[in-house]
Amino acid sequence: MTPLSAVHPPNPIVSTHILGIDIGGTKLAVGVSTAQGKLLSSERIPTNSSEGPDRVLARLAEVCHRVIDKAGVKVDGAGVGCVGPLDQKTGYVIDPVNLPGWKKVPLVDTLKHHLKMPVFLDNDANAAALGEHRFGAGRGMANMVYLTISTGIGGGIIINHQLYQGENGNAGELGHMSVNFAGRPCGCGNVGCIEAYASGTAIAARTREAVKASGTSDSALLLSIAGTIEQINGQAVVEAVRRGDPLACRVWDETIVALGSCMVSVIHIFNPRRIVLGGGISNAGDLLFVPLRKQTKKHSMPMLHDICDIVPAELGDQVGVLGAVAVGLDGLARANS
């Protein structure tokens, strides 16, 4: 039997050029890339989702045509990473929270009409996982897990060089892995989700609660950074931890314990070679990765832990577009197989 780590991904057609489209609640990002992830042209504009899907997609199509013209190459297809929920098989976006009014929007068919090329769709977290696997910190890894720790926590799972999508395309909701069965309520309706503890939004909320509960005697430095209790956000907490604010450090230590519990479960369930962490909170660098690796090692089975790296993502602000490019490459490979 061939081990999973020895199975190689499909080889992309090296001359292929792909249009990558990243659709988020606040921005639309578009780029034309080679099959090796070299961006030839790109552009970003505000989403302005209140205009409604028809007008937003018409503006998006205009940007796509500009970017293609600027690249000066023949584009073979388009990949789209979009906030979910969505249905990859039908190409519909299904009422995302961050795109109000987008109820059962035929995104793929609409873009095919505007662009006159094959279009392939996946959610933004899966797209980012594919991008990091093909072009970033997961290059060469047969089995890896990607998590983005930002406003929320999203994820994507690569097994045997392939994106694992589950029975109906919704696998990888790692932010809603429960780390405390009697814990904090989460926006998904569950309790104790890691998103309710370790997302940037949750870190800020927990810190504000701690300040209100204990007073400001041990959070003066934090408040000098943030301004007021209401203005505390994830970035302010990270900076306060760097500078030794006692209250911020306590919240951060609790965050590391919660996130470490998530990492342990990921390691034990998926046995990955690498876990890649992206998103704004990952920019904390060693402040995050050093204690998180220590916490994860403490509670993981050695046989599984010792072959798994926990590393920062590499694609930065380009992860949305390059992730969408990876979606397009995978879609073309399937269509041509």
Q: Can you tell me the mean pLDDT for 62-89?
A: 95
Indicate whether 153 and 127 sit together in one domain: no
Per-residue model confidence (pLDDT) at position 299: 97
pLDDT-derived band at 217, boundaries 50, 70, 90: confident
Indicate whether 157 and 124 sit together in one domain: no
Neighbour count for residue 253 (Cβ, 10 Å): 12
Indicate whether 74 and 160 sit together in one domain: no
Which residues constitute the domain of residue 213? Answer: 141-313
Per-residue model confidence (pLDDT) at position 168: 81
Indicate whether 145 and 124 sit together in one domain: no
Residue 175's nearest CA partner among 210, 159, 209, 151 is 151
Q: Which of 3-12, 31-40, 317-326 is the least confident region?
A: 3-12
Given a cut of 60, is residue 2 above it in pLDDT? no
Global confidence as pTM:
0.90
Report how far residue 115's alpha carbon sits from residue 29's, in angstroms, rounded to the nearest whole number.
Answer: 16
Given a cut of 60, is residue 170 above it in pLDDT? yes
pLDDT-derived band at 336, boundaries 50, 70, 90: confident
Is 112 domain-assigned? yes
Please give the span between the terminal C-alpha atoms of the chain, in angstroms, as a whole number: 24
Indicate whether 249 and 109 sit together in one domain: no
pLDDT tens digit sequence for 35-69: 999 999 999 999 999 999 999 999 999 999 999 99
Q: Can you tell me the mean pLDDT for 135-146?
A: 97
pLDDT-derived band at 83, boundaries 50, 70, 90: confident
Per-residue model confidence (pLDDT) at position 95: 86
Per-residue model confidence (pLDDT) at position 200: 94
Residue 269's nearest CA partner among 313, 306, 300 is 300
Q: Can you tell me the mean pLDDT for 2-7?
A: 40
Indicate whether 108 and 223 sit together in one domain: no
pLDDT tens digit sequence for 103-140: 999 999 999 999 999 999 999 999 999 999 999 999 99
Per-residue model confidence (pLDDT) at position 8: 44
Indicate whether 167 and 109 sit together in one domain: no
Is 216 domain-assigned? yes
Is 259 domain-assigned? yes
Q: Which residues of 153-167 are buried (b: 16+ CB within 10 A; e: fewer)?
A: bbbbbbbebbbbbee
Given a cut of 50, is residue 6 above it in pLDDT? no
pLDDT-derived band at 3, boundaries 50, 70, 90: very low
Q: Can you tell me the mean pLDDT for 19-29?
A: 95
Given a cut of 80, is residue 210 above it in pLDDT? yes
Q: Mean pLDDT over all residues of the chain? A: 93
pLDDT tens digit sequence for 279-317: 999 999 999 999 999 999 999 999 999 999 999 999 999
Indicate whether 83 and 147 sit together in one domain: no
- CA dihedral of 275, 281, 284, 285, whole degrees rounded to 10: 20
CATH code of 54's domain: 3.30.420.40
Indicate whether 38 and 109 sit together in one domain: yes
Per-residue model confidence (pLDDT) at position 1: 36
Indicate whether 307 and 325 sit together in one domain: no
Residues 6+ apart with CB under 8 A from 244: 221
Per-residue model confidence (pLDDT) at position 14: 55
Indicate whether 194 and 179 sit together in one domain: yes
